[in-house]
Structure 1
């Protein structure tokens, strides 16, 4: 036997990743698998939890353990995109495809139904946010309304990481952070299930046991060991939603710290010194006991870049970025509203639509790509202003995710927001945070351990401030001005029978130039 190692597994929108890490934070090995979500109807985004997620866990662990001594493995932790909804029978067999987080907008009517049923003020006061396409409760109500037979057969409901934990250990748990995104079922201030809401929405479904993300909740069963190659009895920690695991990996733990995640979607996690709320933000429990966070998320970022790359004939991304770098700041008057999959923050509108405005015959693909980066950055600036309006300033901004490997993207964000960004040396992401949770949960390293080390900083270029200030003002007027037309088009799209079978998107790590 060699030295101890810890296994972190993260299942994202475009890929699943696994990493083996030493107690000191050194990456020993890694593996990844790409995949694509199903889009069976407009507004629906799904995965087969068993055939894709659980199967990929097995493939990743067997690959890593074939190259490393399984006897050295001391702990496992899993994170995943979220909040997702998986409903199963007593044997933890899914009864339908998993329903994804805010990019799945099928439960619009149920969101309104539950808001009316409980009252918007009670929901906001209890859950720390309004119901939206991000909320799990409306997805459960949708299942009851539209697939009553499936709902009646179900006995358990999960998020992504808790589903994998159940498959590994046989334990039925939900980490507090993931639970705090199951609105309106969780009381953020009380750190417990909101009993009346759970009864009204989840009905007969058994309620999972609440745990913290670093808690060891069980051990790998013989059946799971046979499927995955992980030794029987290996401790398994609860894990959490990928963005919070990624924040944990980057050492975003102190009040005023903010993680900006450049991935298939853009996500923000802001650590709070005290409870704070905003109607356009999400107040959530953190990873460790007592931690509080405000969060926000944009529905497209890296996925929009990948869509454009495909639109341009799958030209290598490095070539496209090099072309876009030659375009002046402001893309010669071209603006992109990046709401191509509806939008979460800052507008919480599933019927928002992508917009390209200002096109002339002078503009080419390089302008479009740069304008897309700039459009995302204008949205990021709006969200940062919302976060700070609650009274918690952003004292330290840490940029993580595969998109940080595209220097143009981070540069544009710093230029438009006027913020310095710290980029860690390890950008492998949530799976690295999972491994750290496993090391802490098993007692191999003390609580408060931070593995992340800074690699470089991105400073704003003041020479671009004037042009971006002017275009930001214009950008901010666009959505309110054409919201009605967006909604009319969204209604037409919902009535359209033809729908692509899969999201065309590259995994986060392929955003490297």
Structure 2
């Protein structure tokens, strides 16, 4: 028997098959485009997601030799906050607005001004940010009232795939937490926010815990994918909650650090709590608990941008050459700092106008210095979230890193040195897709709970300890990094308006 984990990412869908021992027996990835019709906008076509997922499932079954009858359950994960709008015939009304779309600052300002930060935090546990779903709804109401009037269903990205697989309108508590119309403390839709946004309650999907069954594969989906009709699909989770399950960050003290397109620091909590300044997100976790999370919008994507767009070296050999150059540069890169705000920033600054910058360039710096400065700048951005978590008296006893950037041992060493903590890598590197498969195993009652499943499946396979000689240089450079945003904030806004 096997379980499938489907992770609907920003650039591709990843689908894995996991056997009952937790071993990944096959994986498939299918890419699809992101559209940027205006600066700061980011959209996708939900039909592209379904085409890639449908074809990917069929290919995975063929590659692994699995039949649909052998798949016992399916878990879903995916990019959070995106907005999919459907009409009464379940047809997509407009392109999906993504988590990294920055067009809704005016709507965020309206929410914050009208409700106030304290009331909004009381209702949702969070403040209004441009990536969240609620301001997107208001943006459509203002700019496309004809489309707004035709809305019958509002879904998150992964839940559009659920609809295509099962015919059910459903979501899970972890992904719903990122909409800004979910009552995180009570794990249900927020009546106050639904009223404020003038959303029809009937347009929102039923909400489940991440390990609960939400429906079965329809005959149409079975014919399209090769799966068996009736195969269970569980609630799943937002990519960060599912990724935390995939790294075993399901107990207090173990912190998940996701070094992917975005950068995320994720700490599980037994009880619900909120950062008084709302710098961290407070969301439901996929294991029935809660978590706090700090998010930087551009992490490994900064290095990808540098390697592919600037250095024109997008091959594996090109990456290796640039990383080798960076490895030959000492810690703190000779006074060069990179601010990783290529898509604006969320934690701790919540500023869509922030821009990426090199500060401190001089004639002694070469390409290796700049490559390393990017990796270090991302590390400093992640450290911002760690510092806030520690200030909330949340224990940080172990750090587990995942995501594409985690494949670089140099980057893991830089993180360990900046954080002053050992950084561990686990055996499974599939991240959210693996976590989604684990949730399916719990839903099939192979395990009593998520913690039991993680204890059985997840093992630390490698780790790097901080190098004592690097701690002081990084601490000094971090102080410089922290001061730069405040110095440049107004300049960033002026530049963005030109």
TM-score by length of 2: 0.95
Deviation digits for residues 390-436 of structure 1, max 9, x if unmatched? 12121221111121110111111111110111110111111111111
Whether 1:93 and 2:95 are equivalent positions in the alignment is: no
- What is the CA-CA distance between 1:117 and the residue it aligns to? 2.3
CA contact (8 A) 2:123 2:193 kept: no
Mapping 1:391-406, distance limit 5 Å: 391-406=393-408
Give the aligned partner of residue 458 of structure 1: 464
Classify the secondary structure of the residue corresponding to 1:104.
coil
Do the aligned partners of 1:7 and 1:75 also contact (CA within 8 Å) in 2? yes
Q: For each residue in 1:237-275, what CA deviation from the matched residue of structure 2 results, as whole angstroms up to 9, or x when unmatched?
A: 111111111100111111122100011111121111322
- Offset at 1:474? 1.0
Residue in 1 that maps onto 2:242 = 245
Cα RMSD, aligned residues only: 1.3
How far residue 34 of structure 1 moved from its aligned partner, in angstroms, is 2.7
Where does structure 2 lack aligned partners over 5 or more consecutive residues?
none
**Equivalent residue for 2:194, pick from 193, 198, 212:** 198
* 1:208 corresponds to which of 181, 205, 209: 205
Cα distance between partner residues in 2 of 1:55 and 1:202:
33
CA distance in 1, matches of 2:246, 2:101: 27
RCO higher in structure (CA 8 A, sep ≥6): 1
Describe how 1:274-423 pairs up with structure 2 within 5 A: 274-278=271-275, 279-289=278-288, 291-310=289-308, 311-314=310-313, 316-423=318-425
Matched ranges for 1:489-500 at <5 A: 489-492=495-498
The answer as to whether partners of 2:155 and 2:204 remain within 8 angstroms in 1 is no
Over 3 Å off, 4+ runs: none
What SS does the corresponding residue of 2:333 show, helix, strand or coil?
coil
Q: CA–CA distance in 1 between the matches of 2:232 and 2:74?
A: 6
Matches within 5 A, 1:167-206: 167-183=164-180, 185-204=181-200, 206=203
Contact 1:75–1:234 under 8 Å retained in 2: yes
115-124 or 421-430, larger mean C-alpha shift: 115-124
Q: Is the partner of 1:57 in helix, strand or coil?
A: helix
| Aligned 8 A contact 2:30 2:53 in 1 | no
Q: Secondary structure at the match of 2:236?
A: strand
The separation in 2 between residues aligned to 1:57 and 1:178, in whole angstroms, is 19
**Does the CA-based 8 Å contact 1:29-1:64 persist in structure 2?**
yes
2:10 to 10, 13, 29: 13
Q: Give the whole-Å Cα distance in 2 for the aligned partners of 1:360 and 1:162.
A: 49
1:151 to 141, 148, 152: 148
TM-score normalized by the length of structure 1: 0.92
Query: 1:228 matched to which residue of 2?
Result: 225
Aligned length: 485
**CA 417–403 in structure 1, closer or farther in 2 if over 3 Å, else same:** same
Between the aligned partners of 2:2 and 2:141, the Cα distance in structure 1 is 43
- Unaligned stretches of 5+ residues in structure 1: 493-513
